Amino acid sequence: MSSSHTIPKNYDFREVEDRWQRTWRDEDNYFDPSSPKPQFVIDTPPPYPTGNFHIGNALNWCYIDFIARYKRMCGYNVMFPQGWDCHGLPTEVKVEEIHGITKNDVSRDEFRRMCRELTLENIGKMRATLRRCGFSTDWSHEYITMLPEYYRKTQLSFLRMLKAGYIYQSEHPVNFCTRCETAIAFAEVSYEPRETKLNFFDFDGLEIATTRPELLAACVAVAVHPEDERYRHLAGKHLKVPLFGHDVPVLQDGAVDPSFGSGAVMICTFGDKQDVHWWKEYDLPLRKAIDRKGMMTTLCGRYQGMNAKECREAILADMEKAGILKRQETIEQRVGTCWRCKTPIEILSERQWFIKVKSDEILEATRRISWYPEHMRTRLENWAEQMEWDWCISRQRIFATPIPVWSCAKCGEIVTPDEADLPIDPTLERPKRPCAKCGSEEFVGEHDVLDTWMDSSISVLNITGWDGSGTPPIFPAQIRPQGHDIIRTWAFYTILRSVALTGQKPWDSILVNGMVLGEDGFKMSKSRNNIIAPETVLVEYGADAFRQWGAMGSATGQDIMFNWNDVVAASRFQTKMWNIVRFVLTQIEREPVEDGPVTALLDRWLLAKLAKTVAEVTNALETYQFDQGLRAIRDFTKNILADDYIELVKGRLYSDDAERASACRALTTTLDALCRLLAPYVPHFAEECWAQFRDGSVLVQSWPAFAYEDEEAERLGDHVVSLTAELRRYKHDLGLALNAPFGNLTIYTPEPVDDVGDAARALNAGIAWRTGEPRLEKVPAGVEFNLAVIGPALRKQAKGFMQAVEALPADRLQNPPATVSVDGVEIAVPENAFTPKFAYAVEGEAVDVLTIGEVTVTLRRA
């Protein structure tokens, strides 16, 4: 126990946080596979190593750290891993920028090396931010998806799913970003509003409206509604496509909206999802008008080599020239774009690899997972239910996990490597054996690579130690924390992959956090200039204030607006609490207090309130309501401990009263519990407070299981607290200073109270607690005139009237006569002209009488 005079006056978060971060050891946060404790494995999100750990990540990590620290204190063997989801386009683009090259200027291998180098550098920067936030990461479970030991597992999972019939290769329309030159999954298409022109033109005598005239070359049919009278005569006929001249059939289909445009539509391969649907349903031919780079193909004749926009303008100009463009309307449209680069996507038919989406399996597993908050479950269910296309997992990029297959150059047979040889790059290595089907030794290595979600959707399998030899003993994980923006991707794919590879749900529960919005309420973005970097907050207010902001922002799952005021309030709470700790420790350490019972009423009251707070915080953390937990701690500290309790018992603490020891014991218990309750939220601050009066680290203490029931103390204590506050107000209203002598109070309560003199010391009064009613003597004390009545009624006689009333004997005042005599004239007493006043006395001494609820208080003023 340190002596009180060594406690610094001010809490310097910079010095304290830095010191503890240097003192704490990583090993204390390691998951111990041989531990007999129950496990608590957290499937943390692996962020993309951009080099900046943004505030949205930081919020999510605050939540994770609260859980990890709380569960450790509750006796769990916790795994809080840190992964890095490395592959993907943004890094490729950055590398091209940094080195001033395009990916085709160097070998694939060299390009990957450059990407890896940049990624490692970025990971280094982000690790530093994680440490600065005070997160209790298990660094022995760090994983980096681009390293061979990880992507070996990605490849293994691919081969297993291929063998199990989940994965197939097919030519099928896919969403394609022509800027990124890669297929993307449906979940990666975002929809944006856009203004465009609806062009009405003559299509071989029929008016058709289209927003995409550049797809005219890809037109394979025209469709009308079967009940549309205007077009009934066209059923079964063929039309000639303007400018291109090929014949297309006219189809009748109930999905056509007769009220849109002219009511007749072109079917092109492919303008949208509906085109794909019709193309399949009517077995229409495939006409590819746009290639993977977004250029018009040879099919487009003189428009070949133009991009879609150039082609559109050229075709419209030619329509105009031919006199077939009738009119144009401006319309609002939602257009699908690439979620990474915002380029409008094209639907291209390509040979790609797919994973079968078995919605029933996924929904079944989803039902067996607890969702926090519960309504987020619906988002995943809706997505799984409306899934029409399988998951396209092949990408035409470089910095990604290679698809580990070859195809036989002679017969086309797919050849896979031995699992023991993984990881492999089929573009650099060759199969060990000739083709099993035709014996050929010529192979073509697969150039396509895997979608990065293929890496990250096995995060939980990776951390639990999956190696393909069965389900790991520590699988499933206990919780998956993640943002709601990646429910359709990361959560969905993880469930899909876990079910496919283990037949089980990946986690017991999933905790979904909201997004962080800028101070202006909008999504943080460079263009709005409303981005707040966690480092900015850390430098100005420290990690613990930042963590409190994360906890208090809003209910779990809701978006949270960044607000400097909340950070400032968090920092002030620490200052306030530090002052409380200093005061308490100064008192506790004044003289040694032996162990013993807590006896005084208010001390028992404090412990009863503390026990309720502990239960409230525990319940909040069990259900991941971090804001409720921290609010309960703050309210208890500020209101109950500081404003009520300490203000009331200060006098006893300063005294040599026999009951002083009871207060010291109650305060020690309270401080001990508060440090533990605060440890998950503000580890540096809790550790620093703890170190002032306890040995060891608060972080390895057990969670307070503090039960203290004392219904009587709670009821009577509440009574004393509210009475004291009322009396203090009364004293103030009398114009007395708070510490001025107040006089003698007798407090009559329905049941006996013994507050060991705390209220008396707090009010600087003599206090006697009594039950029953006071024996009050009522003494007349003049009258109060109602001038609003007297003035108009008596006018000039008013003054004389009042003198006459004042001269009446006391007993007449209570029972006023009908008339009084003024200057020898009897004047009628107007109704409500005056009210008699009384004073009270006890045993002949004048007292003030206050009624506060069921309590009567008499005060003989000083």
Residues that bind Zn ion (CB under 5 A): 177, 179-180, 338, 341, 343, 408, 410-411, 413, 435, 437-438, 440
Q: How many CB atoms lie within 10 A of CB 379?
A: 16
Angle between helices 601-622 and 660-678 (to 10 degrees): 10
Q: How far apart are CA 552 and CA 531, in angstroms?
A: 20
Nearer to Zn ion, 413 or 726 (CB): 413
Instruction: Reply yes or no: is the peptide bond before residue 270 cis, omega within 30 of 0.
Output: yes
Nearer to Zn ion, 440 or 701 (CB): 440
Within 8 A by CB and 6+ apart from 111, the residues are 92, 95, 103, 398, 399
Q: How far is the CB of 409 from Zn ion (least distance, A)?
A: 8
Q: How far apart are CA 433 and CA 124, in angstroms?
A: 42
Q: How far is the CB of 292 from Zn ion (least distance, A)?
A: 12
Q: How far is the CB of 102 from Zn ion (least distance, A)?
A: 15
Burial of 247 (0-12, 13-18, 19+ CB in 10 A): exposed
Nearer to Zn ion, 12 or 413 (CB): 413
Q: How far apart are CA 274 and CA 162, in angstroms?
A: 30
Q: How far is the CB of 290 from Zn ion (least distance, A)?
A: 15
Nearer to Zn ion, 445 or 518 (CB): 445
Q: How far is the CB of 415 from Zn ion (least distance, A)?
A: 8
Cα dihedral sign, 733-739-743-749: positive
Nearer to Zn ion, 190 or 771 (CB): 190
Q: How far is the CB of 307 from Zn ion (least distance, A)?
A: 15
For tokens 């915080």, the residue is 617
Nearer to Zn ion, 413 or 540 (CB): 413
Nearer to Zn ion, 338 or 689 (CB): 338
First to last CA, the chain: 44
CA-to-CA separations, 763 to 629, 662, 744, in angstroms, rounded: 34, 21, 10
Q: How far is the CB of 308 from Zn ion (least distance, A)?
A: 14
Assign 3-class secondary structure to 543-578.
HHHHHHHHHHCCCCCCCEECCHHHHHHHHHHHHHHH
**707 in helix, strand or coil?**
coil
Q: How far is the CB of 90 from Zn ion (least distance, A)?
A: 10
β-strand pairing of 414-415 with 406-408: antiparallel
Q: How far apart are CA 56 and CA 533, in angstroms?
A: 10
Q: How far is the CB of 304 from Zn ion (least distance, A)?
A: 23
Assign 3-class secondary structure to 48-100.
CCCCCCCHHHHHHHHHHHHHHHHHHHCCCEEECCEEECCCCHHHHHHHHHHHC
> Identity (one letter) of the amino acid at 68?
A
> Identity (one letter) of the amino acid at 610?
L
Q: How far is the CB of 435 from Zn ion (least distance, A)?
A: 3
Q: How far is the CB of 434 from Zn ion (least distance, A)?
A: 8
Nearer to Zn ion, 482 or 489 (CB): 489
The candidate with the shortest Cα–Cα distance to 661, out of 717, 596, 611, is 596
Q: How far is the CB of 442 from Zn ion (least distance, A)?
A: 8
Q: How far is the CB of 288 from Zn ion (least distance, A)?
A: 20
Tokens of 549: 């902001």
- Check if the beta carbon of residue 497 is closer than 8 Å to that of residue 458: yes
**422 in helix, strand or coil?**
coil
Alpha helices (runs of H) in 290-371, residue ranges in sequence order: 308-322, 359-367
Q: How far apart are CA 19 and CA 7, in angstroms?
A: 16
Nearer to Zn ion, 400 or 674 (CB): 400
Q: What is the radius of gyration, based on Cα positions, of the chain?
A: 40
Bridge partners, residue 239, by sequence: 248
Q: How far is the CB of 579 from Zn ion (least distance, A)?
A: 55
Bridge partners, residue 267, by sequence: 221
Nearer to Zn ion, 7 or 183 (CB): 183
Nearer to Zn ion, 189 or 855 (CB): 189
Nearer to Zn ion, 452 or 669 (CB): 452
Nearer to Zn ion, 409 or 561 (CB): 409
What is the 8-class DSSP label of residue 260?
S
Nearer to Zn ion, 58 or 405 (CB): 405
